[in-house]
């Protein structure tokens, strides 16, 4: 990697399209479908489809590490990602259009796995150890800020333009502009040629094995499956129960929510450079669980929806920053895309199953018990993690995971 230090805000710009896809599905499409009379369960299933490819993307993560450059992969993934976002506006957000939308959402999300992995690899190589907390904050701010753009700006435009496809094309076009930030990020030096490709792939597998065989790496792997700080509650789909208007939903779960989440990411990243990063993830997850309980118990009106949706967004930013920071701490630099995604992809498993559980719980018991269910499972996951940490990491164990050997 070029010795010039890269400011982490560039990674925030590059990862925005990744978040936009999720935001457009979870806010814009979710609100439109709910307004068309679709139940929360099928809406949650659609949103979960946007997460599904990310639960097993580690299977193709080595491709990023051993073939084209990270910048080339970003450009190759960025164009179909923008086209997929645009396509979401060409199908009706109704019960009859749900199947087609599901296909588009799934395929577009699949393309973002390649875009995200290219940025993650650049981030791992371009960030010194002492700045990984803040880098994780900027990176997560771009992810969640993109979620706000896709959801808030998307819904804002859909409500005001005469055709949804105009809104989706505008949002998709904005995502293409993010590639301009590549000019400020040098790519890691990579060997070329068939023998180098074979050696690179072997080194990638070795790096991954060395990561997972260490107690800290095993603990990081376990944490990926726990329902802590998932941020999976379908707020746009239940907003009507708090009498929240479309403008309010677009603002607080979209644009403003993205800003709040981004602020949570940056503040959470700052904290993560000053405390144990895995412990920070647990504490931040408990804060989110407390916010969910409060939203279930307190009065229901538009002002309370704004307040607790903002708290939910802020604590989600905390948990995303903490997760990114502890994964960057664990993986080192060699085969960064593979190692990051071996953990990051698995961390989407609880988001996927909690999104479906939230939708199921809402349709069966209502929104209050939906929040109780999500928060309760989060607390159980936190307690389980603390117990496992005491078993795997005895007192006095070093905080950071030893960097795996591999490609420079």
The 10s digit of each residue's pLDDT in 225-264 is 888 888 888 888 888 899 988 888 878 877 787 788 888 8
- State the Cα–Cα distance between residues 391 and 215, nearest whole angstrom: 10
pLDDT at 130: 67
24 confidence band (pLDDT: 50, 70, 90)? very high
Containing 236, the helix (H) or strand (E) segment is helix 235-238
Q: Is-contact 284 322, C-beta < 8 A? A: yes
**Selected residue with higher pLDDT from 145 and 339:** 145
User: CA-CA distances (angstroms) from residue 399 to 179, 187, 335, 396, 406?
Assistant: 35, 29, 22, 9, 21
pLDDT at 396: 47
Q: Is-contact 261 144, C-beta < 8 A? A: yes
pLDDT at 193: 46
pLDDT at 1: 41
Average pLDDT estimate for 338-367: 82
pLDDT-above-70 percentage for the chain: 83
Give Rg (Cα) of the chain: 20
Other CB atoms within 10 Å distance of the CB of residue 159: 18
Mean pLDDT for the chain overall: 81
Indicate if the alpha-carbon torsion angle 70, 71, 77, 81 is positive or negative.
positive
- State the Cα–Cα distance between residues 127 and 211, nearest whole angstrom: 19
Q: In the chain, what is the greatest distance between 2 CA atoms, to the nearest angstrom?
A: 65
- State the Cα–Cα distance between residues 186 and 1, nearest whole angstrom: 7
* Intra-chain end-to-end CA distance of the chain, in Å: 8
Q: Is-contact 168 37, C-beta < 8 A? A: no
**Selected residue with higher pLDDT from 389 and 35:** 35
Tell whether the model's pLDDT for residue 101 goes beyond 70: yes
Half-sphere CA count of 163, side-chain side, radius 13 A: 9
Q: What are phi and psi of 338, to 5 degrees?
A: -65, -50
Tell whether the model's pLDDT for residue 45 goes beyond 50: yes
Q: Is-contact 362 43, C-beta < 8 A? A: no
**Selected residue with higher pLDDT from 255 and 150:** 150
Average pLDDT estimate for 202-222: 70
pLDDT at 375: 93
Say what the pTM is.
0.67
Q: Is-contact 8 136, C-beta < 8 A? A: no
Tell whether the model's pLDDT for residue 272 goes beyond 60: yes
- State the Cα–Cα distance between residues 27 and 357, nearest whole angstrom: 18
Q: Is-contact 152 253, C-beta < 8 A? A: yes
Tell whether the model's pLDDT for residue 217 goes beyond 80: no
What are the structural domains of the chain?
9-184+194-392 (1.20.1250.20)
Long-range contacts (CB closer than 8 Å, 24 or more residues apart) made by 327-331: 327/136, 327/220, 328/123, 328/124, 328/127, 328/132, 328/135, 328/136, 329/129, 329/132, 329/277, 329/400, 329/401, 330/211, 330/216, 330/217, 330/220, 330/401, 331/124, 331/211, 331/401, 331/404
């Amino acid at each position: 990697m070029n010795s010039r230090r890269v400011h982490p805000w560039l990674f925030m710009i590059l990862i925005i399209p990744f978040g936009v896809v999720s935001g457009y599905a979870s806010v814009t499409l979710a609100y439109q479908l709910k307004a068309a009379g679709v139940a929360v369960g099928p809406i949650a299933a659609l949103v979960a489809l946007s997460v599904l490819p990310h639960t097993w993307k580690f299977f193709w993560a080595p491709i990023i590490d051993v073939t084209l450059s990270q910048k080339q992969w970003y450009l190759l993934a960025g164009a179909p990602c923008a086209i997929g976002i645009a396509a979401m506006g060409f199908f009706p957000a109704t019960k009859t259009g749900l199947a087609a939308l599901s296909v588009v959402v799934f395929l577009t999300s699949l393309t973002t796995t390649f875009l995200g992995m290219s940025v993650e690899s650049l981030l791992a190589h371009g960030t010194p150890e002492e700045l990984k907390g803040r880098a994780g904050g900027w990176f997560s701010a771009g992810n969640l800020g993109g979620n706000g753009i896709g959801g808030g700006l998307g819904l804002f435009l859909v409500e005001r333009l005469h055709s949804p496809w105009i809104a989706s094309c505008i949002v998709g076009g904005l995502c293409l502009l993010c590639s301009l930030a590549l000019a400020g990020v040098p790519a890691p030096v990579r060997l070329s040629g068939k023998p180098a490709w074979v050696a690179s792939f072997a080194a990638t597998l070795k790096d991954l094995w060395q990561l997972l065989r260490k107690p800290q790496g095993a603990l990081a792997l376990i944490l990926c499956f726990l329902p802590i700080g998932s941020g999976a509650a379908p707020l746009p789909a239940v907003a009507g129960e708090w009498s929240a208007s479309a403008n309010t939903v677009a603002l607080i779960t979209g644009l403003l929510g993205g800003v709040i989440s981004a602020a949570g990411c940056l503040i959470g990243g700052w904290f993560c450079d000053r405390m144990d990063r895995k412990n920070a993830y647990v504490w931040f997850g408990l804060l989110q669980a407390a916010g969910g309980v409060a939203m279930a118990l307190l009065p229901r009106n538009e002002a309370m929806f704004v307040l607790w949706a903002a708290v939910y967004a802020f604590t989600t930013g905390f948990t995303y920053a903490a997760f990114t920071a502890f994964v960057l701490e664990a993986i080192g630099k060699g085969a960064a895309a593979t190692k990051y995604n071996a953990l990051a992809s698995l961390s989407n498993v609880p988001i996927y199953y909690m999104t479906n559980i939230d939708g199921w719980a809402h349709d069966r018991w209502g929104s209050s018990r939906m929040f109780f269910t999500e928060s309760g499972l989060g607390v159980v996951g936190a307690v389980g993690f603390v117990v496992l940490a005491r078993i795997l990491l005895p007192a006095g164990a070093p905080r950071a995971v030893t960097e795996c050997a591999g490609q420079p």
